[in-house]
Chains A and B, each alone.
Chain A
Amino acid sequence: MTDLDFEYLRGYLKQRSGLALTPEKRYLVESRLTPVCRRFGLPALRDLVGALRLARDGAIERAVVEAMTTNETFFFRDRVPFDLFRDVILPEALARNAGRRRLRVWSAASSTGQEPYSLAMLLQEAAPRLAGWQVEIVATDLSTEVIEKARLGLYSHFEVQRGLPVQWLLKYFTQSGEQWTIAPSLRAMVDFRQINLLHGFETLGSFDVIYCRNVLIYFDAPTKSDILARLAGSLAPEGALLLGAAETVIGLTDRLSPHPKHRGLYGHAEVARPAAVRAAAAG
């Protein structure tokens, strides 16, 4: 791949998906896009770049963006964010929304569905406390391919063994040969939609809980700031935002701030500040 081709791909991916590729990621471009070349019968990466420049084939454009965006995920990934949901976020939201009995959760980079289905399992486990509630999980991703897989809810035995307790495998999945299918009751809880975080997502409405984990790390600082400010706009007044362990709002937006006790958990800046600090500021 020539320097010129790499620079073109960098610019192209930045514009389409916000992906910020540094020069040392050149190997990644080559390893991920070579299979795309083969799939479309193109002899080399320069031919792929040529096809993108002509902008005639939407399928190639989608395949390039999807191949370069990481979809690594598993059920209950990192565990702590899901313990937080069960032990802190959900009980607080249940108390706060007791009047209107409505809960909206957004999994903003849902990949192949493991994150929203993990949340759906936790909500089913809490079903007695949610009787009569309207519960909605919206799951979005940039890639139409992974959204399709997520909608199917069909997982390999490798996928169901990474993070999912075996008791819940038996409880929430049925076996179909080598594959495992998520229970229809869980699938019905999740509304999957294709969304590019770079573009407007205001139409999704306001959420009590937003999981946006391990996606901001791929963006440059101005893009992170822009997305975080807009996520703040989609977060209910006392809502909870979960970011990945390597992600933060600090230095990127003043609309959100970290929870004083729970790492990875954020809220609106004026809400997240401890009450004593708020009182001091007001007084």
Chain B
Amino acid sequence: MTPATDATHPTTCLVVDDSAVIRKVARRIIEGLGLAVAEAEDGEQALRACDAAMPDVILLDWNMPNVDGYAFLQALRQSEAGRRPKVLFCTTENDVGAIARALRAGADEYIMKPFDRDILTAKLEQVGLARVDAA
């Protein structure tokens, strides 16, 4: 595995999910790919985190208390100035309508839960933030 950026500027990923278990699993996989990980428990926390330091990629749950993932994404895409982080939805909302809606709102990729290491790695690779060396 090769992270997309060099060691002095590690690629940063914000994991937004109200489940501590999902955040832990995702953190372990993403850190294994050489990315630096921050966490948020809902959309409100995530917006504050983005204001403080815009990450390179956001792994985003849909159904969360306070501000949900969809509302967060709409707010993010309206507010971001200059830096446009890649957003990967990661949710149990698995029907075609939800996926299409997320893409229209500005999601770059979509992960249907449950996911595993291969899926998360492949999706990060698709948005250009991890490269799997050909086996």
Measured CB to CB, the residues of A under 8 A from B are 74, 78-80, 157-158, 161-163, 165-167, 169-170, 174-175, 245-246, 264
Q: Is B118 an interface residue (CB 8 A)?
A: yes
Whole-angstrom distance from the CB of A97 to the nearest CB of chain B?
A: 28
CB neighbours (8 Å) of A264 from chain B are 134
CB neighbours (8 Å) of A175 from chain B are 95-96
Bound CA–CA A162/B132 (angstroms): 12
A161-B135 CB under 8 A given contacts A166-B99, A166-B110, A167-B103: no
Q: A166-B99, A170-B99, A264-B134 are in contact. List 9 more A-B contacts (CB 8 A).
A: A78-B132, A80-B134, A162-B122, A165-B109, A166-B110, A170-B96, A170-B100, A175-B95, A245-B134
Q: Is the CB of B99 within 8 A of A161?
A: no
Whole-angstrom distance from the CB of B58 to the nearest CB of chain A?
A: 15
A161-B96 CB under 8 A given contacts A78-B135, A245-B135: no
Query: Which of B100, B119, B123, B132 meets A158, CB within 8 Å?
Result: B119
CB neighbours (8 Å) of B122 from chain A are 74, 161-163
Q: Is the CB of B109 within 8 A of A157?
A: no
Q: Is the CB of A161 within 8 A of B103?
A: no
Query: Which of B94, B100, B125 meets A157, CB within 8 Å?
Result: B94
Q: Is the CB of A165 within 8 A of B99?
A: no
For window 86-112 of B, CB contacts with A under 8 Å fall at: 94-96, 99-100, 103, 109-112
Bound CA–CA A74/B122 (angstroms): 10
Closest 4 CB pairs of A and B: A245-B134, A166-B110, A161-B119, A78-B134
CB neighbours (8 Å) of A170 from chain B are 96, 99-100, 103
Q: Is the CB of B100 within 8 A of A162?
A: no
For window 38-79 of B, CB contacts with A under 8 Å fall at: none
* 26 cross-chain CB contacts under 8 A: A74-B118, A78-B134, A79-B125, A79-B134, A80-B134, A157-B94, A158-B116, A161-B111, A161-B112, A161-B115, A161-B119, A161-B122, A162-B118, A162-B119, A163-B122, A165-B126, A166-B103, A166-B110, A167-B103, A169-B99, A169-B110, A170-B96, A170-B100, A175-B95, A175-B96, A245-B134
Measured CB to CB, the residues of B under 8 A from A are 94-96, 99-100, 103, 109-112, 115-116, 118-119, 122-123, 125-126, 132, 134-135
CB neighbours (8 Å) of B123 from chain A are 161
Bound CA–CA A170/B132 (angstroms): 24
In this complex, the member of A157, A166, A167, A175 whose beta carbon has the largest number of chain B beta carbons within 10 angstroms is A166
Q: Give the tally of cross-chain contacts (CB within 8 A).
A: 42
Q: Is the CB of B96 within 8 A of A166?
A: no
CB neighbours (8 Å) of B112 from chain A are 157, 161
Query: Which of A80, A162, A166 meets B109, CB within 8 Å?
Result: A166
Whole-angstrom distance from the CB of A245 to the nearest CB of chain B?
A: 4
Bound CA–CA A174/B99 (angstroms): 12
Bound CA–CA A158/B116 (angstroms): 8
Q: Which residue of A lies closest to B94 (CB)?
A: A157
Bound CA–CA A74/B96 (angstroms): 21
Q: Which residue of A lies closest to B89 (CB)?
A: A166
Bound CA–CA A162/B134 (angstroms): 14
Whole-angstrom distance from the CB of A227 to the nearest CB of chain B?
A: 21
CB neighbours (8 Å) of B100 from chain A are 170
Whole-angstrom distance from the CB of B4 to the nearest CB of chain A?
A: 14
Bound CA–CA A163/B132 (angstroms): 11
Q: Which residue of A lies closest to B107 (CB)?
A: A166
Bound CA–CA A163/B118 (angstroms): 9
CB neighbours (8 Å) of B95 from chain A are 175
Q: Which residue of B lies closest to A246 (CB)?
A: B135
